[in-house]
């Protein structure tokens, strides 16, 4: 059964369009309160829900609406203001809340917003809870009695708690002294957290993208636009640059030479460091989009690797199945499940910085053992519905391309989840060959689905 409101990562859209409006958020808060009132909470009959947000201007409006709906359903509310998404997962656990709510559209522009949820253990909500919330949304809204209304409290020390947690993920006594780091906070939720973490650990920190005004989140800064960070690293002759996205669950790096390193490179550095410090790395979960060069580099290290569907929840599922502690996406979602329950940009940044400092090598040196393969993706518009796995013409075209690549590349076809498009991706060692093969395959697929 498909869901009416929930996507792969909560509910998201353009502010003022569809359900991204105050009226729906009021009803959503009420529905969430009703569902968790039935489930109960740790040690209490009254559910307690924590709400955080990023820095976009519409967050205040939706925070108020969700708060009113939750209170009307009899739930107590903790407000923590602008905080990274992984911080809300962490604080949901440490405050023993029934659930956590994040008001954010992650790396999207300010005019988008959305709602994400965490369960009591800081994980994404299971499907049965999302279905239950949707069922409540179809019912008329009824308040509890006045005596049973929820209460609201603002948490004043939320950022301090999270900063201390982040610092606790590296060994006691570890210092970044002598390291010059440029931090790009995307004018988002990490603006008052990430610089403090690195400064308190001894780094010389230079910040950009740390003056949010409600409208400039992710605008020409952050992990989706690392050019500004690269330029600043070179200008300041910094040792390293770190870029977060608007809600702080993604991170990318720039090395001392100004080169951008994505999530695959981050996972490689962390995996190598675990081998150096612990003797082994049990395995790594990537996604269908993880670079083939990354897979080969892990193979050389004899580190097991599997691919999940695109989406951090699917990465986490495979990590649990394999009992592995490391996984992520090339976009910069990095999950270190030995220290946290979800993708955390600040924690992942500290893991890489630890590898740089304790290993005594530059970041460019740490990734020198991995050669990223050229990757070309072409969007093909489809005019009819097609099963990519079952269509004989498409399968034959893919086999022909794979035969040419041999063991030196791969082909991936996947439908867009939001548009009538098929994404045709080819990667291999030779840029010219990859571009030619991707163009030829896209043309063949276009004829078959046009």
DSSP code, position 335: E
C-beta of residue 345 within 8 angstroms of C-beta of residue 332: yes
- Tell me the per-residue pLDDT of 392-407, one tens digit each, with 9 for 90 and over: 999 999 999 999 999 8
Q: In angstroms, rounded to a whole number, what is the distance separating the alpha carbons of residues 243 and 227?
A: 10
C-beta of residue 387 within 8 angstroms of C-beta of residue 394: no
CA angle 347, 322, 402 (to 5 degrees): 95
Distance, CA of 28 to chain centre: 23
Distance, CA of 143 to chain centre: 35
The pLDDT-based confidence of 310 (bands split at 50, 70, 90) is confident
Bridge pairing between strands 260-261 and 152-154: unpaired
Mean pLDDT of 184-203: 98
What positions carry a catalytic annotation?
106
Distance, CA of 228 to chain centre: 21
Residue 43 has pLDDT above 60, yes or no: no
How high is the pLDDT of residue 40? Answer: 60
> Which candidate, 337, 426, 315, places its Cα nearest to that of 8?
315
> Which candidate, 235, 227, 190, places its Cα nearest to that of 212?
190
DSSP code, position 148: G
Question: Which domains can be identified in the chain, with CATH numbers?
Answer: 11-158 (3.40.120.10), 165-366 (3.40.120.10), 375-449 (3.30.310.50)
- Tell me the per-residue pLDDT of 324-369, one tens digit each, with 9 for 90 and over: 999 999 999 999 999 998 999 999 999 999 999 999 999 999 999 9
Q: In angstroms, rounded to a whole number, what is the distance separating the alpha carbons of residues 216 and 233?
A: 21
Q: In angstroms, rounded to a whole number, what is the distance separating the alpha carbons of residues 333 and 290?
A: 12
């Amino acid at each position: 059964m498909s869901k009416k409101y929930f996507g792969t990562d909560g509910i998201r859209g353009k502010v003022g369009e569809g359900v991204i409006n105050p009226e729906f958020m009021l009803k959503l808060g009420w529905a969430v309160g009703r569902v968790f009132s039935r489930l109960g909470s740790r040690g209490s009959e009254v559910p307690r829900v924590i709400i955080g947000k990023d820095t976009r201007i519409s967050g205040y409006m939706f925070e108020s609406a969700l708060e009113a709906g939750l209170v009307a359903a009899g739930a107590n509310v903790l407000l923590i203001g602008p905080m990274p998404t992984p911080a809300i997962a962490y604080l949901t656990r440490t405050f023993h809340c029934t659930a956590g709510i994040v008001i954010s559209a992650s790396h999207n522009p300010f005019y988008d917003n959305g709602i994400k949820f965490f369960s009591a253990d800081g994980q994404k909500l299971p499907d049965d809870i999302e279905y239950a919330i949707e069922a409540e949304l179809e019912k008329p809204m009824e308040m509890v009695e006045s005596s049973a209304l929820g209460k609201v409290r603002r948490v004043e020390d939320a950022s301090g708690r999270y900063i201390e947690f982040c610092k606790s993920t590296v060994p006691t006594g570890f210092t970044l002294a002598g390291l010059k780091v440029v931090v790009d906070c995307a004018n988002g939720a990490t603006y008052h957290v990430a610089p403090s973490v690195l400064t308190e650990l001894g780094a010389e920190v230079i910040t950009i993208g740390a003056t949010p005004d409600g409208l400039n989140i992710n605008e020409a800064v952050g992990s989706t636009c690392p050019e500004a960070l690269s330029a600043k690293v070179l200008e300041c002759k910094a040792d390293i640059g770190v870029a977060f996205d608007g809600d702080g669950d993604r991170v990318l790096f720039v090395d001392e030479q100004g080169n951008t390193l994505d999530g695959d490179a981050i996972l490689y550095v962390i995996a190598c460091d675990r081998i150096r410090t612990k003797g082994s790395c049990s395995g790594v979960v990537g996604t269908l989009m993880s670079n083939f060069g990354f897979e080969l580099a892990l193979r050389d290290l004899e580190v097991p690797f599997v691919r999940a569907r695109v989406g951090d929840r699917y990465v986490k599922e495979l990590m649990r199945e394999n009992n592995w502690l490391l996984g992520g996406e090339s976009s910069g979602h990095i999950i270190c499940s030995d220290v946290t329950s979800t993708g955390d940009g600040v924690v992942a940044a500290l893991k890489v910085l630890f590898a740089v400092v304790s290993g005594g090598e530059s970041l460019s040196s740490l990734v020198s053992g991995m050669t990223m393969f050229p990757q070309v993706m072409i969007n093909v518009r489809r005019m009819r519905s097609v099963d990519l796995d079952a269509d004989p013409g498409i399968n034959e075209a893919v086999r022909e391309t794979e035969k040419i690549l041999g063991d030196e590349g791969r082909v991936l076809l996947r439908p867009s989840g939001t548009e009538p498009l098929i994404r045709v991706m080819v990667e291999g060692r030779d840029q010219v060959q990859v571009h030619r093969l991707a163009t030829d395959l896209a043309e063949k697929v276009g004829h078959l689905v046009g």
